[in-house]
Structure 1
Amino acid sequence: MASWLALNGVLLLVTYLLGSFPSGYLAGKLLQGIDIREHGSGSTGATNVLRTLGKGPAIVVLAIDILKGSLAVALVYLAYSLPTFTQTAPPSVIPVNWLPWLAVLSGLSALLGHSKSIWLNFTGGKSVATGLGVLLTLDWQVGLATLAVFGLVIALSRIVSMSSIAAAIAVAILMLITARPLPYQLFAMVGGAYVIWRHRTNIQRLIAGTEPKLGQKAVTSD
């Protein structure tokens, strides 16, 4: 039992470090020699990369950040295909129904890593793209529906933060009304709430009417 818990602890640490990979920060350093946290909104996410570095780097950063979330979930199922994990697990947790809980924890670990990267003094992005990667791997149908909500809101408003917040709310509703497994519902609620909390300064600007739209420069924030 103790060795099984230790192995799962290592797995969660690995997914946190995976989420911590500072793709946006590295793009700024490699392409323009800047610390992207000192430009635009101060985030290392793809939206600030778009405003600061352009479309090409933003697409690459977005893809990497989505992949981080997807791999965090996939690693759980890969790990449990190895005898090392299954042989150390007590019989009561061997059944597959344990894995969704661990997959969700790993996904949340990656979200935390992205927004509180150990390599960036625990700063980072808003966890939207990484959360999408987690969601698409957990449940691609709800993931695509959530992405559709994001796309609709951004088409109407041209405001990324508003679209992200709308998607964070929508994912919890979608998980509930489609009666997805309890671990997935909890991920949607906890992950969605965390994404909204990460957008708290954006919410203040939305209320004040000063939140920039796509193509506009962002003011520096935390």
Structure 2
Amino acid sequence: MKKRKWSKIFLILYVICVLSYTAARIILKEYGYFYYDFFEKGKMLLLLIGAVYIWCIGVGNLKRYKMRYPGRSITGGCILLGIFTVVSVGFFGNYFVRTMSMWETSAYQPVEEREEKAEETEESKTQEQRGVYETVEDAYQYLYDEVLSLSYSSSSSQYNAKGNFYAVLETGMGTYEGQENVPYTIEVVDDRISDDGESYMFNFYKIYETAEGDITDFGLRYLVNKYTGKITAEEVPWGN
């Protein structure tokens, strides 16, 4: 009777602990402070205590049964208790391994911080899908910063009458086929999107304003991958 009395007292205390844990979890989560690691460990501790209690009750019942009925077999009870033990050890062992592997992960985070990190991750994935350089202006600025700025100290972004983007890198007076003091302009013009849809294409022009009209010298064509930022230079197919 004494053992049963202590068993009942333990069971009552255990139920009180479970109810207190549940209430604290609900209240703190409602106020925005959900200490995930603390509550996760608390839950596992309660489950572990419950499993040990059930195991002890099972062993005690088998002993009492064997003492009361010495001639009867307790093989079935031992098998059930063994299965329960194996399952419990596997469950808690798996939790221990996962906990050790996540040891360096931040533990105590309010709900707002967890949601903010989730939003940042989602935004990062969306940005990767859209491209690092989503607009032609962004792609050109990257091209200028990485390549063109090495040769030209300034860049003026503009749009033509059709609304197409281009940038003026340099204006001045030069010599063209023996003619001196010929005005010229160096421009980089947005051409189009590459056939695979992954790169912006920019053509490099040097335009001379001669007496016979504008003469264009074609330079390189630059491709800027809008997902990786890789820059590739090639000859303009129709250039001279």
Q: Please give the TM-score of this superposition, normalised by the length of structure 1.
A: 0.29
Q: Please give the TM-score of this superposition, normalised by the length of structure 2.
A: 0.28
Greater strand proportion: 2
Greater helix proportion: 1
Structure with the bigger RCO (C-alpha within 8 Å, sep 6+) is 1
